[in-house]
Chains A and B, each alone.
Chain A
């Protein structure tokens, strides 16, 4: 059942967007780069990303008032503290970023619909998009995120000697 659920269309209300704009951007940026670094070399292959080395990125989550700035280098992703011009900026609403990650929406569809904007070096954007699209993941399944399922997986993981 849960497998067939489609992400509803939602926009974070404007007052919260204004609040988000005033909050420090470092905690969400740290959360993002930590997640990316954990995935690097495991889920996300390093080799195709060589073109990204030394590049600066900005992700704007429009309705959450978030602007996340980070760069990519030999040692992975790290947050950026200055607001100088990024090489690539990707902007969309929270809902659409989630839908992209869940492979529920196609980025070109969102682009045609003006819900996804990619400014700066388009080729870097294509590389990111196509690398993510090429990762062979099991389909995002919300059923795998229930507390029972998570506990079950944690137990299984602890019982395995190799946590690879």
Chain B
């Protein structure tokens, strides 16, 4: 059993960071206001003044601040990414979350004391890959993609000195992290290089007599009937006509909720649980952080008898995308 399972909460701005700290996060992950992170949405994220305030607020209360620099720089914008690493180090963040090996090499050379985490965007799903990043760049933690079963996560944990962080809650996608081309195919903008999947400029919602329509760059990707729950405007969660049938041809909008797996995650030695959602508001961060703090504390006290309460599940279901919450790949009997 891991001594301390860290709760890693999202913050798209200073109020979200403060509420995460106030409600029991051990770490808050953030991003700068540009394409250096994978939630580069208009008006979101931290400018220099707010990240400095956020770091001060968190550190005074014993909470760590992580900065995601988890997009892939290209040769013509490389300096913007290295400047972001320099800035994060100068501001005294507790770790940077990187996906690009070139940037890891830069960070290791220029800021040897800066702690490096491997982003989920790095898409390392086995211990050999994680150990490679550890040996070459000294990464100290890896965030696992949401594609592994519990047995596979355990196998990774057992075979690496690197701390393992897993996703515990939040939106799911097709999970081809770091390599997904669906957004770029439709909008010209990808989460991998520009930091945005389905950027706002490409999204249009319209209430029509047939229901609410979602268009991505003019292409109708979904239509929601009266009272039907909506999802994010991404191509992977659209409904398409295939052989005269219209349905979720790639995947149905759903949220990951692993609350009931907490004792198992602790037993196998996972170091941290990540909550998805830097694009969400402070209200979401408050609601989700509270529930997960309570759950982790309760599980640590008595893992044998841990069972998620109905109130926790109701609170998490309320803020979920899609009609269902799933255990994702963790609960997969096959390998």
Contact = CB atoms under 8 A, between A and B. Distances in A.
Interface in B141-176: none
B283 A134 contact: no
Given A103-B283, A130-B13, A130-B44, A123 B200 contact: yes
A38 interface: no
Interface in B302-321: 318-321
Nearest to B206: A119
Interface of A: 48, 51, 91, 103-109, 111-114, 117-131, 133-137
Given A114-B224, A125-B200, A133 B229 contact: no
Given A48-B43, A122-B201, A126-B41, A133 B212 contact: no
A136 B230 contact: no
Interface in B206-253: 206-207, 212, 224, 227-232
Nearest to A113: B229
Contact of B203 (A107, A122, A133, A137): A122
Contacts of B230: 111-114
B140 interface: no
B279 A108 contact: yes
Given A48-B43, A119-B205, A126-B200, A112 B281 contact: no
Contacts of B15: 103, 133-137
B178 interface: no
Contacts of B212: 114, 117
For A48, A114, A117, A127, the residue with the greatest tally of chain B CB atoms inside 10 Å of its CB is A114
B45 to A, nearest CB: 8
Nearest to A128: B43
Interface string B253-293: 00000000000000000000000000111111011000000
B281 A129 contact: yes
